[in-house]
Structure 1
């Protein structure tokens, strides 16, 4: 499945059309999910600050509005919103908890008496980066505020039962509205760390993979096929798109990071065999050299 942005067996025209609430549809990951799912299902997507036609406004801290929206007869509630930048979470742990943990409590209460299932997007940052790779059964040990909020949110959802946690790594690509990944390559130079290793996922592969996985409960991982450093990834993207930036190798002590980052986060699964596409295939698609 090296080109997993194509429709898979769980994504055929004969599959039932679902009514889905997609929280965070205006974001980078949420936008990628929206692009795939809205073409196949009835999707209500949300935005927080950046108004986008077709999406509804929602502040996750507006608990009454969040509860009412989640209880409005959906089959699936996909939670891909929250405070994402690691440095922002580290700088304001209280805000990180309000945006990454408390909404899960509200959502669980809202869907408890309905048939709706919650699908929560979590992170490889629930791990400390000390292992060669991580599966769903490995012990979580977050080393930063963002990872701790994701761990707390996972605990709430898993204790309730019947829902799904999808852990993902660094995601790369071009979103329909938000382009937080490519924004990192917007300056004349792009520092990229040689001491951070991951198995990044290509954004268009997330929607098809999710459609294959959302019938499950508990925890699943979805990682990319290739294992690379941040420097290798950024260099390959810069070359594939011929971007006017120079990717500069950096290490932790040179990057002046304001929060601790796990050094090696490679997600693998014991629950399924899906992987995102290899980097060469993904970058050829991103650069327009291969069809979707």
Structure 2
């Protein structure tokens, strides 16, 4: 399954990153979304109101994709908490539309660590799903709708980060939001009691591309998290260091009373399966220090230069001493 047409439903940060990787690999890829976007070089874009079942069916009939990647929203956790019924209807309905109409296409749903309640720091594929917020409940329902109706794959991904311009016209991923403030010399207030296993958007795209091309049978659920378990305040300090920001700009706080109040204490994923799959076991998922060093260049600050960050692959040591932020 190395050729053919791929449809990516959702043109946000993650969907665009996946489309960019597929296009760079020479694949025919089309982004579909309600909001017009400029697609990455080599990719296309088409309008789609994915809540409309008829519109989804007509698009599938026209494009006849061999692979469909669902990266649809809404993904703002705070918005979902304020509009739980609308969030659930959108996530579940869209998954059901494509499960019913995709035919023999390979279906991949990009899901979330928020399907867990945060009481564990090591959520594996076998951990029982127990959402603690509206976003997690909506995604869990979408997973069920897809897996019950189609031969599909759910790829749960931890907090995704990467470069986004300050004028992107939307809320930014955590790394980009911190970096833009820090390069302007502005303070960043971040919770010290909300933990995640961040994963670089380019690594998400690489894993997704490999799974789409995989000829071997795949399990229904896979996890993708970065190798470091890190508190947000400690992660912000790593970002500040990589950017050469003025000391003291990162202000640790408690998540209660902030926009992170509805996030579980731990939004962390551990993979027990990707390292066993021939398609993904050689992929090296980068930690937060290396990610910050690579992205510092995109934010116009000093290049830290090369440092020995270790070569860790899923097949070797994907999850080691995840200790960043333990003292914050």
Fold conserved (TM > 0.5)?
A: yes
Q: Which one is further off, 94-103 or 140-149?
A: 94-103
Using the TM superposition, give the Cα deviation of residue 158 of structure 1 relative to its aligned residue in structure 2, in angstroms: 1.5
In the alignment, what sits opposite 1:86? 77
SS at match of 1:287: helix
Gaps of 5+ in 1: 1-14
In the alignment, what sits opposite 2:37? 51
> Is contact 2:159–2:199 with CA below 8 Å preserved after alignment?
yes
Count the aligned residue pairs: 273
> Is contact 2:143–2:154 with CA below 8 Å preserved after alignment?
yes
Match of 2:16 among 31, 50, 54: 31
User: How does 1:58-207 map onto structure 2 within 5 Å?
Assistant: 58-71=48-61, 72-111=63-102, 114-175=103-164, 180-181=172-173, 182-187=176-181, 188-207=186-205
Distance 1:283 1:110 in 2: 41
SS at match of 1:33: helix
Structure 1 residues 51 and 270 mapped into 2: Cα distance closer, same or farther (>3 Å)? closer
Return the TM-score normalized by structure 1. 0.85
Structure 1 residues 123 and 205 mapped into 2: Cα distance closer, same or farther (>3 Å)? same
Structure 1 residues 179 and 238 mapped into 2: Cα distance closer, same or farther (>3 Å)? farther
Distance 2:201 2:164 in 1: 8
> Is contact 2:110–2:157 with CA below 8 Å preserved after alignment?
yes
> Is contact 1:32–1:175 with CA below 8 Å preserved after alignment?
no
> Is contact 2:67–2:106 with CA below 8 Å preserved after alignment?
yes
Show CA shifts across 1:216-253 (max 9, x none).
Answer: 24000011011110111122223323468932211023
Structure 1 residues 61 and 210 mapped into 2: Cα distance closer, same or farther (>3 Å)? same
Using the TM superposition, give the Cα deviation of residue 120 of structure 1 relative to its aligned residue in structure 2, in angstroms: 0.2
SS at match of 1:74: coil
Distance 1:252 1:175 in 2: 24
Match of 2:223 among 221, 224, 235: 221
> Is contact 1:90–1:258 with CA below 8 Å preserved after alignment?
no
Distance 2:2 2:160 in 1: 28
Distance 1:31 1:175 in 2: 11
Distance 2:151 2:285 in 1: 26
Gaps of 5+ in 2: 276-280, 298-302, 307-328
Distance 2:207 2:150 in 1: 22
SS at match of 2:14: helix
In the alignment, what sits opposite 2:274? 272
Return the TM-score normalized by structure 2. 0.76
Q: Which one is further off, 134-143 or 70-79?
A: 70-79
> Is contact 2:8–2:31 with CA below 8 Å preserved after alignment?
yes
SS at match of 1:252: coil
In the alignment, what sits opposite 1:4? none
Q: CA RMSD in A?
A: 2.4
Q: Are 1:285 and 2:294 an aligned pair?
A: yes
